[in-house]
Structure 1
Amino acid sequence: MPGSDSKFSHLPRAAVGPLTCPYEGSSVLQSSQFNKGSAFTEEERSAFKLRGLLPPNIQTLDEQVERAYQQYSSRPDDLAKNTFLSSMKAQNEVLYYKLIQTHLKEMFSVIYTPTEGDAIQNYSRLFRKPEGCFLNINDQDRIEEHLSAFGTGDDVDYIVVSDGEEILGIGDQGVGAILISVAKLVITTLCAGIHPSRQLPVVLDCGTNNEELLNDQLYLGLRQHRARGERYDDFVDKFIQAARKRFPKAYIHFEDFGLNNARRILDRYQSQIPCFNDDIQGTGCVTLAAMLAALEISSVKLEDVRVVIFGSGTAGTGIADQITDTIATETGKPKDDASKQIWCIDKPGLLVKSLGDKLTDGQRSFARDDKDWPDNERDLESVIKKAQPHVLIGTSTKPGAFTENIIREMARHVERPIVFPLSNPTRLHEAKPNDIYKWTEGRALVATGSPFPPVKYNGKEYEVAECNNSTCFPGIGLGAVLSQCRLLSKKMLVAAVEALKARSPALKDADKPLLPDVEDVRDISVDIAAAVIKCAVQEGLAQQDGIPDDDSELREWIQVQMWEAGYRPLVSKK
């Protein structure tokens, strides 16, 4: 990581050198951004009137991390550990991020899925201190006023917003969605160095259809059923317009919107503002990166690949879209032709045109002609027999859907079956990796939606890749923020996918995982950000001045603007 001697250390986002603190006395200790606890130096204790407010022994950040880890480890379960970390974040954000970075592999599932889902479900019961911006549909004429509490035009780089309708596979969680916005932003800081002081988590409270929440006297959100139609659309639009007016440089990340709204909202705004939907585009990018690595290993050309997607909701159609865009971009095929290489299956079976209005906007372009697919050929096994896919992707949340017959049928037609059971959590996986390797005699290339241990089969050990969006969306966001792109284009996403694929350990050893480990994610985010920025420049979408042309200088320019969990010297504003 470049230090204060970098030629780019003068940049406004450069996370080096002294930090100006406007507080003194107990106010410093109450600011999570400036608080150092027992690590304040003698000079800082004098300058900021902290003597008598702290025990005398001065400790290092590493010593604080050791104490915090002991406290964390003493908590009885993962939800209690999640709550402990949330309290620490409210007290000292440097220590919070340093603790997690030091134990990232262990703590990732505690700060994100699946434990964050438990925290969201219990949001109103565990509530201690508000974090983020709470906007509600009954007060939508004051959105701009409410956003103004979070700074001026240059203060926010990255906004995550959710309406809470489809949270982490646990459904409608109403106002508790603020925690998914918070969690996603924590990941952007850990994985890509987005400055925590330059983020804004937002919840759009439109009501909830979760009767358990509506009947809970402790519930903190609006006690009304979800708004739909024009009133809902107006609310979303007023938020977008107010956010762009207040924070014109901010990149907007949509998270966990419902099936009927996610695609529609993304389609409406992606040609107007720099925005991104992780459930659609992030899932699509990380899955595609794993698939491209697998295709290279199995010597299948992108223009020839055949893909079956089982489960065609937001994630499934997002993956299908990303594959289609990449085929079209890389091979020059028209998008309509590229989409014909994909067969999408949902609850009614194979998507066909006669389903008409029952198809969502995201599904419609993948619907097949009825005449080519009789009723008795639309189940998963029949589609596998007829389409003979190289790739089978599961986003159905239907456990065990990839049966032995289905996997063996697939393996009859292709040399290296590429099988991705991606449904979360682990109990909802379409198949277990050890079964897939057994049913394909070790020929399969596998990636999953949750972490799995290595599989031993016939004397060999296979490492299983996890399709973790966190290896992808933070780097895309970093590239968008630093380039100040006008829009996030399809070519920029393809560039991100290629950068992630290039990091695949399996390209050097086919028994290694198809995707890199989350522990390497900060370096990966630099690669992805660089690819996104270069593409933005080529397409004329970058608005930031002074972006270096040279690859090594570009990496340094990116790295110096990534926030690190370390104490910087404090200087008084006076």
Structure 2
Amino acid sequence: MTSTPNRFRVPLSVKGAIDCPYEGKEMLNLPTFNRGTGFTKAEREEFNLVGWLPPSLQTLDDQVDRAYDQYQSIDGNLAKNTFLMSLKVQNEVLYYRLLEDHLKEMFSIIYTPTEAEAIEQYSRLFRRPEGCFLDINHPEYMVRSLSQWGTEEDIDYIIVSDGEEILGIGDQGAGAIGISSAKAALMTLCAGVHPNRVIPVALDVGTDNQHLLNDKLYLGNRHARVRGEKYDDFVEQFINTVKRLFPRAVLHFEDFGLPNARRLLDHYRSKLSCFNDDIQGTGAVTMAALLAAAKLIGLNMHDIRIVIFGAGTAGTGIADQIRDFLATQGISEQESYNHIWLVDKPGLLVKSLGDTLTPAQKPYAASDERWTGVDTSSLLEIIKRVKPHALIGCSTKPKAFSEPVLREMAKHVERPIVFPLSNPTRLHEATPEEILEFTDGKALVATGSPFDPVNGKEIAENNNCFVYPGIGMGSILSRSSTVTDNMIAAVVKELASLAPSHDDPDGALLPDVENIREISARIATAVVLQALKDGTARVESLEHVQVPRDFDGCLDWVKEQMWLPKYRPLRKVFIS
């Protein structure tokens, strides 16, 4: 037995024995150390667990089988989500191993669309806190709250949300912790980031959701959402605290509202390693699917015409990623705007809308004179004029891609590309069945939520999980000082190269989520290599390691550092 410093640090390695200073009932109540019936006979004796557990010794496989039987016995997706969250706070390894073994079946339960429902019901389903809550009314507690999670050597990744625009369901106030926690779990599940090296954070700045404010069980601040200088000062304090306490950590912005998402990213992306999943992640995965579709039908990106229906954070993020990718194809930024049309609540975004346009929308506004005599409030009329190759939906407006709209698209291009991306499923602009029916089976489809195959044809799920875990892990491992546009472009190219449609014309435009761990490792590898090329990687100077410069060698290096859900040996230590 060995001793350890007064302030015991959670074991954060991915290999070898785990130091544990706990025993008995206390140990069983800690998900990081609890193994339930999986403790060996020797461990039960050494850690004073005899009598606390039934005598049968079981393997992790046995426990997974039992947990899966319990899962299957539960009716309703929300109840299944609640069961899994309960398991997570009981036994960390078992939770991730169960998900790993049944990933495709459970993915829609732990993330979209079921997680959206769980977040809506957060205050009513609340059992145990998970994550870090920062209160705009008490900024004096910020350093104290965050420092409890560890030192700069303990934390690699921080996911923060203020809850204003969550998963297509809007302002959820303190429920923001639900999306931060879900994304944190996916960082571990998909990319192998150690679960104890991630902090999910909710910035509770109030809510404009009157339903929550009127709910006596609501757990967040009961006042309107704070905006303006006080909000900005609070975010600035948060950023500075993160930089001071966790200077090596990557910061992930999640589900901030349209007034803040873009400007916060633009303001802070040069100041620390950070990215916004709704802007860059959504843009990258959509661009990868678009690139795979273009390759399948032989469409030159210099000729592509794209209509994006819904010009909020996600829509403008997709537009920006398309613009940035076109730049890598030799198309100037100004010329790229001629390939993209944005449609939002007023209809087609045109220059005469002036200051009603957000800064992110303004560059894409079309010249009014080119649309004289056209009803720019009608998506059908816009389709008739533009004759787009691709129609992308980020509107949360169900059935917006109507039969006339889809049939009009199919008149002008041989293989229309149609991506209804709004979440959750009930908010999709059209279903895959409708899209294929109204285009006579010609359309190339990717959706924002999982759908069953249509007539044997797999439907690509345009899920951010294909990119953000790899972006995060690659940024962590490279210790990149910033997340550059080149790193995101490298992600797009790598993901597009993995599309099943490359080998099968009837294949999906994106790979299967079942292979997410391998996909994330490859995405992370592309990020690491690009960071080294860009000169933003600090891993070799900070960690004193030599990173292989060839893809396969770097891929092996990445995989060696990915956490696995398995029971490792425990080593008894004492707190001195």
Question: What's the TM-score, normalizing by structure 1?
Answer: 0.95
Q: 2:289 aligns to what?
A: 290
Distance 1:389 1:299 in 2: 15
* Contact 2:397/2:427, CA 8 A, preserved across alignment: yes
Deviating more after overlay: 21-30 vs 220-229: 21-30
Q: How does 1:299-310 map to 2 (within 5 A)?
A: 299-310=298-309
Q: 1:562 aligns to what?
A: 562
Pairwise CA distance, 1:13: 6.6
| RMSD between superposed Cα atoms in Å | 1.4
Task: Please tell me the residue identity of whatever aligns with 2:168.
Answer: G
* Contact 2:252/2:275, CA 8 A, preserved across alignment: yes
Matched, 1:231 2:230: yes
Distance 1:123 1:424 in 2: 18
* Contact 2:116/2:424, CA 8 A, preserved across alignment: no
Q: 2:381 aligns to what?
A: 382
Q: How does 1:149-548 map to 2 (within 5 A)?
A: 149-328=148-327, 330-374=328-372, 376-378=374-376, 379-456=378-455, 461-545=456-540, 546-548=546-548
SS, match of residue 215 in structure 2: coil
Pairwise CA distance, 1:14: 5.4
Pairwise CA distance, 1:376: 2.5
Task: Please tell me the residue identity of whatever aligns with 1:538.
Answer: K
Q: 1:44 aligns to what?
A: 43
SS, match of residue 410 in structure 2: helix
* Contact 1:193/1:562, CA 8 A, preserved across alignment: yes
Pairwise CA distance, 1:491: 0.8
* Contact 1:391/1:417, CA 8 A, preserved across alignment: yes
Distance 1:147 1:432 in 2: 43
1:289/1:64 CA distance change after superposition, 3 Å: same
1:293/1:568 CA distance change after superposition, 3 Å: same
Question: What's the TM-score, normalizing by structure 2?
Answer: 0.94
Distance 2:553 2:33 in 1: 31
* Contact 1:311/1:346, CA 8 A, preserved across alignment: yes
Q: 1:549 aligns to what?
A: 549
Distance 1:326 1:84 in 2: 42
Deviating more after overlay: 346-355 vs 413-422: 413-422
Deviations 1:68-88 (A, max 9, x none): 112222223222221211111
Pairwise CA distance, 1:410: 1.8
Task: Please tell me the residue identity of whatever aligns with 1:215.
Answer: N
Q: 1:128 aligns to what?
A: 127
SS, match of residue 446 in structure 2: strand
Distance 1:75 1:454 in 2: 25
Deviations 1:392-439 (A, max 9, x none): 111112222222222222222222211111122222222222232233
Q: 1:20 aligns to what?
A: 19
Pairwise CA distance, 1:49: 1.9
Pairwise CA distance, 1:156: 0.8
Deviations 1:200-246 (A, max 9, x none): 00000001111222122222111111111010011111001101111
Pairwise CA distance, 1:375: 5.7
Task: Please tell me the residue identity of whatever aligns with 2:197.
Answer: R
* Contact 2:113/2:425, CA 8 A, preserved across alignment: no
Deviating more after overlay: 139-148 vs 220-229: 139-148
Task: Please tell me the residue identity of whatever aligns with 1:535.
Answer: Q
Deviating more after overlay: 194-203 vs 271-280: 271-280
* Contact 1:14/1:560, CA 8 A, preserved across alignment: no
* Contact 1:13/1:562, CA 8 A, preserved across alignment: no
Pairwise CA distance, 1:51: 1.7
Task: Please tell me the residue identity of whatever aligns with 1:557.
Answer: W
Q: 1:6 aligns to what?
A: none
* Contact 2:67/2:98, CA 8 A, preserved across alignment: yes
Q: 1:7 aligns to what?
A: none
Long gaps (5+) in structure 1:
1-11
Distance 2:550 2:405 in 1: 49
Deviations 1:329-357 (A, max 9, x none): x2222212112210111111111111111
Distance 2:452 2:443 in 1: 16
Deviations 1:226-285 (A, max 9, x none): 111010011111001101111111111111111111111111111211111111111111
Task: Please tell me the residue identity of whatever aligns with 2:39.
Answer: F
1:375/1:20 CA distance change after superposition, 3 Å: farther
SS, match of residue 17 in structure 1: coil
* Contact 1:120/1:173, CA 8 A, preserved across alignment: yes
SS, match of residue 386 in structure 1: helix
Long gaps (5+) in structure 2:
1-10, 541-545
Distance 1:561 1:22 in 2: 25
SS, match of residue 361 in structure 2: helix
Q: 2:118 aligns to what?
A: 119
SS, match of residue 33 in structure 2: coil
SS, match of residue 325 in structure 2: helix
Deviations 1:35-87 (A, max 9, x none): 11111112212222222222221100010011111222222322222121111
* Contact 2:12/2:154, CA 8 A, preserved across alignment: no
Q: 2:136 aligns to what?
A: 137
Distance 1:509 1:394 in 2: 26
Identity within the alignment, %: 57
Task: Please tell me the residue identity of whatever aligns with 1:549.
Answer: R
Deviations 1:167-204 (A, max 9, x none): 11111111111111000011111111111010100000
SS, match of residue 242 in structure 1: helix
Q: 1:3 aligns to what?
A: none
Distance 1:115 1:95 in 2: 21
Distance 2:83 2:479 in 1: 35
